Amino acid sequence: MRILFLSDNFYPEVNAPASRTYENSKVWVKQGYSVTVITCFPNFPGGVLYSGYSNKLYSVEYIDGIRVIRVWSYITANKGFFRRILDYLSFFLSSFIAGLFVKCDIIIATSPQFFTSISGFLLSKIKFKPWVMEVRDLWPDSIIAVGYLSRSNIIFKLLKIIENKLYRSSNVIISLTQSFKHKFIYSHNINSKKIGVFTNGVDRSSISFNHHKINKIKDDLDLNGKIIITYIGTIGMAHGLKFIVETIIKMNNSSTVFVFVGDGSEKEILVKKVKKSGVSNILFINSLPKTEIYNYIKLSDLALVNLKKNDEFKNVIPSKIFENVALKTPVLLGVEGEAKELIENYGVGVAFKPESEREFIASIDKALELKLDTNYENNCERMIEDYDRKKIAERMIKFIEKNYK
């Protein structure tokens, strides 16, 4: 089977959609499938092209047996709603044009961003091929959650109409959580038989760390003898890190250092806030490649995973949870819903109510105690076995093959 996969993010970018698409595609290629990915030139999240790339109209490279077609897009930093919409629309148009010339048996389009799915839908109609809509986030509802639009806005209403059309037209829907599936069935009246739930996971074989580099990082950042709590990922509006930083400033506990690794629309604001406060236990590090990220997770006493307080985020399971667990770093989770249930069921972290100062502060000590639990490492092993990326990818492609006709 020849798979055409549309995703605006892909390796060497390190965000969740890039990692998921890359790792799933690797598994499918090893199984004997032909996979072509149409994507942008890597620039996320800073809107700066990675070394060795230029924003050309079209280029082809091969990565681990995956044919990767990179197309021109309007490049901008991960900030500003309308600039990002221009980014999304440009990739929609470029991916659609490029997709016309790719021979395939099935099309998979991952959303968000939302417009990639429109490209997949249109290509399926023109090429008379089935298409799969992979839903990693409920877009455009997540736009409301971060405050970009209101439900009464005409743009939002239009996007909801398109969203419903896409769900109904797709041959298969891949959902990342049970909550998403529940919404598709009961809010959009979608046939449950065409919806498969395939969560994120982790490829344990791809994870490694270097003790020498870890010791050097600790020396360079003066972290020795400190409790280290690390947040790694996008620093955007959805992640609720303003609350976290403001609470840390109030705590004023120099024995605990918070390290934020990543970039995003809110980073500059938070850096200024920290400088103004005068505290010395909050550090910001620019985005890093995966190989370096694992060193930061491993040196941490706790791994912070946080989202803004909003009911929409009860439906998501942040992908960074799985890598933290694979490296046996307890998760400090500011997310409710399925993510909370997951870490508590496996005993791999402690959850606090989003934007609750009291619960956030109390959860730090609870999470630190968790690592002393004799069952903790076994709990991590059990969870990673259950959420092995290779097994999930294999089940996902079987489901697609069974249900797309």
Please classify residue 51 by burial: count the beta carbons closer than 10 Å to its beta carbon, then call 0-12 exposed, 13-18 middle and 19+ buried: exposed
Longest dimension (CA), the chain: 62
Q: For residue 395, what pLDDT is reported? A: 97
Q: For residue 173, what pLDDT is reported? A: 96
Task: Check: CB of residue 68 under 8 Å from CB of residue 39.
Answer: yes
Cα torsion 151, 155, 158, 160: sign? negative
Q: For residue 214, what pLDDT is reported? A: 97
Q: For residue 148, what pLDDT is reported? A: 64
Cα torsion 267, 268, 273, 276: sign? positive
Q: For residue 405, what pLDDT is reported? A: 75
Which of 209, 227, 202 minimizes the C-alpha distance to 303?
Answer: 227
Residues 216, 53: Cα–Cα separation, whole Å: 30
User: Position 272: which residue type?
Assistant: K
In sequence order, which ranges of 221-348 are alpha helices (DSSP H)? 241-251, 267-277, 290-299, 320-326, 338-346
- 169 token code pair: 């037209």
Report all structural domains of the chain as residue ranges with CATH numbers, in order of start. 2-201+388-403 (3.40.50.2000), 204-386 (3.40.50.2000)
Q: For residue 159, what pLDDT is reported? A: 79
Please classify residue 171 by burial: count the beta carbons closer than 10 Å to its beta carbon, then call 0-12 exposed, 13-18 middle and 19+ buried: middle
Please classify residue 126 by burial: count the beta carbons closer than 10 Å to its beta carbon, then call 0-12 exposed, 13-18 middle and 19+ buried: exposed
Q: Which residues of the chain have pLDDT under 70?
A: 78-81, 140-150
User: DSSP readout, 336-376?
Assistant: -THHHHHHHHHT-EEE--TT-HHHHHHHHHHHHHHTTSTTH
Task: Check: CB of residue 174 under 8 Å from CB of residue 180.
Answer: no
Question: What is the DSSP secondary structure assignment for residue 208, as one 8-state letter?
Answer: -
First-to-final CA distance of the chain: 13
Task: Check: CB of residue 36 under 8 Å from CB of residue 67.
Answer: yes
Task: Give the number of other CB atoms < 10 A from CB of residue 386.
Answer: 12
Q: Long-range contacts for 252-255 (Cβ within 8 Å, ≥24 apart)?
A: 252/279, 253/281, 254/280, 254/281, 255/226, 255/227
Residues 131, 145: Cα–Cα separation, whole Å: 28
